[in-house]
Amino acid sequence: MAGGKETPRQKMIGMMYLVLTALLALNVSKEILDAFITINDGLETTKVTFDGKLNNQYAAFAASYNENPTKYGPAYEKAKVLRDEANALIKHIDLIKAKTIAETEGLTLEQVIGKGPLGQDTILNLSYVNGKDNYNANTNIMIGAEPDKPLDTDNADGNNYRAAVLKQKLTDYGQSLKGMVSDNPSLVATIDSLFTYPEKVKDASGTVTNWEALNFYSVPLAATTTILSKLQSDVRNAESDVLGHLFADVEAASFKFTELRAVVIPEKTYVLEGDSFRANVFLAAYDNTNLPEINIAPEGVEIAEDATEIPGGKGDLVPMGANGYGRVAIPARGLGEKNWEGIIKFKKPDGSGFVYKKYDINYEVARPSLVVSPIKMNVLYRGIDNPIAISVPGVSADALNPSISTGTLTKQSDGTYIARVKSGSEAVVSVSANMNGVNKPMGSFKFRLKSVPDPVAKFAGKGPSDNTVKKAELTAALGVIADLEDFVFDLKFPVRSFDITVIMGGDVKTLESTSNRLTSQQQELLNQVRRNQVVIIENIKATAPDGSIRKLGSINLRII
C-alpha cells in the first residue's frame, strides 16, 4: 500500500483491519464473533477520543481566526469545509450501521441510535445484538442479490445504504482532502492509501471480486459493523491530519519574533505654533537571533520593488543597532530634496530562502532659517511689555544674539524676550548666531508699532452703546471702570475722574468724582432720579499703562 509514513495509531488500525479480514476466512464461531465485538469496541473508543481531540483542534483554530481573521481566514474556511464533510460521512456510516442492526433485530432506527458523551450519534453495541452472525439483512441492504453487480439505488425507506454509494462518498472525501493539502506530497499519499479503492480485488480464496462484495456480501453483521467502524476511523484519522496541516501551514508561513518594541515615526520633529504634531505609532517586532541585513544604495540609484540586490552591487551595509534596527547616518550636503533607496534582506521562517523589502528615505536639506514667533501677534504696542519668542531651527537659544531697531529687547528667564517701544511706525528684530565661534546673521523680522487702543468706559454694567438702565442697577453701581474689550493684553486703565449730569425739573445738575468711585453726593443724586429721566456719565478720564491720560466716551442712560 503506497503512502507516506504512518502514525502508530494508523498502524494499529491497519493491523486490526487485517485481523478482522482474516477472521472472515474462518468459520464464524462465537469466539470469532466476540473478537469482532472487541475490535469494534476499540474502534468506537478511538472514534470518541478522536472526536474530543478534533473538537479541541477546531476550537483552537477558531480562536486563532477570531484573533487574526486576515491571517487564518483562508485556512479556517477550508477547515470548516473539512469538518462538515467529515461529519456528514461519519453520520452516513452511522446510519448504515444502525439500519443493518435494526433490520437484523427487527427494531426501528430510533431504537438503535442514541447519543454519546460528546453529543454524537452512537449505535447499539454489538454485545446487545442477537443476530451478530446474520448476514442476510446487511447483504440485501448494502449489496443486493448479485455480488458482481452491487446496487447503488436508494433503499426502500428512501435512504441509501449501498456499499457502492459509500465507496463513492469515501473516494470523493479523499479527493476533497487532497485538494486541501496538495502542497504536501506525503500527506496526499497517505490519503490515497486510505481512500483509493481498486475496481477488482481478490478474496481469501484468490477469487477476483469487487471491493463492495469483498467487505459486505454474505459478511456477518458483527464483521460488517466492525469494517464500517474501521472506515470511520480512516475518516477521522485523515481529518485530523489535514486539520493539523492546515493550521501548521499558516504557522509555518508566519515570521517568528523574540522582541517587541514601541516605535514612533513623526512626520516632522519641528512643528510650527498653530500646527499639529503628527506621528505614526506602532508596535515593531524583531528576532534578535535572526537579524535582517540592511543595505543602502548610493544617492540617486533607483531600485525596483521586486529587486533582491542593489544594481551594480554598489550598496553599503547599514550597521545594526542593539535593538533590531539599522542606524543610517547621511551627511547633509547640497540643498534640496534628497532620496535614498535600499533593500532589507530577511530569512524566511522555514529557512527556504529570503524575503526582500525595498525601502525609501526622503528628506530635504535646507539652510538654517530664522524663526521669530510673536507670542501675541506681529504687532508691538508702544509703552507696554511685548513678549516675543525668538528661535532658529537647529541652533541653541544660548547662541542667539537678537536686537531691535527701536526701543529695547530684554531676555527673560524662560527664554522669551520683552520688547518695549515708544515711537515710530515699525521695528525690525534682527538675529545673529554664534556658529562655531563666528557670528552669522540669521535674518530679521518686521513688526508694526501701534498704540494701545482706548478702553471702553462702563457704569452699572452699561457702556456708550447702551441707552437704558434700571433704577435698581443705577443705585447699585459703585463707580466707573475702563475695559479693554477683546484686547490681547491684560492691561489696566484706572479711571481717575468722571462727572455725572442729571436734568431734574428743568435744572441741570453736574457732580464730579476725582476717582473711579461715586461720591456720596453723586449717590444721593442718583437716588433722586425718576423714570424716563436721563443720567449722563461724562468727562471720563483714565490713566494708560504708559502714564498718558485717555479721555473716554460718555454714557447716556434713560431710567426705565
**Per-residue pLDDT tens digits for 391-446:** 887 677 888 999 999 999 999 988 899 999 988 999 999 999 887 788 888 889 99
Closest alpha carbon to 455 in 447, 446, 445, 464:
464
For residues 334 and 340, is the Cβ–Cβ distance under 8 A? no
Backbone angles phi, psi at 165, to 5 degrees: -70, -40
45/160 same-domain check = yes
Q: Is residue 3 part of a domain?
A: no
10 Å Cβ neighbour count for 37? Answer: 17
Residue among 431, 429, 374 at smallest CA distance from 405 = 429
13 shares its domain with 81: yes
Query: 18-72 pLDDT, tens per residue?
Result: 555 555 444 456 777 778 888 888 888 888 888 888 999 999 999 999 988 998 9
The residue out of 199, 222, 252 marking a domain boundary is 252
Does 312 share its domain with 419? no
Asked if residue 1 belongs to a domain, the reply is no
Q: What's the pTM value of the predicted model, to 2 decimals?
A: 0.50
- Report residue 250's pLDDT band, with 50, 70 and 90 as the boundaries: confident
- Digit-coded pLDDT (tens) for 286-328: 777 778 889 999 888 899 998 988 887 778 888 887 777 888 8
Residue 393 lies in a domain: yes
Question: Does residue 207 sit in the same domain as residue 352?
Answer: no
Beta strand 468-469 with 555-559 is: parallel
Query: Average of pLDDT values for 512-539?
Result: 95
Give residue 275's pLDDT.
Answer: 47
pLDDT at 493: 96
Question: Are the C-beta atoms of residues 347 and 381 closer than 8 Å to each other?
Answer: no
Which residues have a Cβ under 8 Å from the Cβ of 136 and sit 6 or more positions away?
none
User: Do 383 and 360 reside in the same domain of the chain?
Assistant: no
Is residue 415 in a domain?
yes
Query: What's the CATH code of the domain at 384?
Result: 2.60.40.10
Q: Is residue 41 part of a domain?
A: yes
pLDDT score at 47? 83
As a whole number, mean pLDDT of residues 86-100 equals 95
User: Could you tell me if residue 16 is inside a domain?
Assistant: yes
Mean pLDDT of the chain: 87
What stretch of H or E contains 415? Answer: none
The H or E element spanning position 309 is: none
pLDDT at 15 over 90: no
In-domain check, residue 337: yes
Kindly state whether residues 387 and 273 are assigned to the same domain: no
Domain assignment of residue 2, yes or no: no
Task: Say how many domains are in the chain.
Answer: 4
- Boundary residue ending a domain (419, 435, 450): 450
Same domain? 339 vs 411? no
Which range marks the domain in which residue 134 is found?
8-252
Q: Is the pLDDT of residue 3 over 50?
A: no
Distance CA 23, CA 19 (A): 6
Last residue of one domain, picked from the residues 431, 450, 469: 450
Give CA–CA dist 491/483, Å, rounded: 9
Same domain, 286 and 403: no
Start-to-end CA span in the chain (Å): 114
- Read off the C-alpha cell for 264: 514612533
Tell me, yes or no, whether 421 and 462 share the same domain: no
77 and 223, same domain (yes or no): yes
Q: What pLDDT band is residue 2 in, cutting at 50, 70 and 90?
A: very low
Per-residue pLDDT of 466-490, as tens digits, reads 999 999 999 999 999 999 988 888 8
Domain shared by 190 and 301, yes or no: no
Within this chain, do residues 151 and 210 fall inside the same structural domain, yes or no?
yes
Contacts 24+ apart (CB under 8 A), 77-80: 78/180, 78/246, 79/243, 79/246, 79/247
Distance from C-alpha of 516 to C-alpha of 457, rounded to nearest angstrom: 11
pLDDT band at 274 (very low <50, low <70, confident <90, very high): very low
Secondary structure (3-state) at 212: helix
From CA 236, how far away is CA 50, in angstroms rounded?
7
Answer yes or no: is pLDDT of 358 > 80: yes
DSSP-based three-state secondary structure for 104: helix
Nearest Cα to Cα of residue 443 among 394, 378, 390, 365: 390
Half-sphere exposure for 2 (CA within 13 Å, toward CB):
9
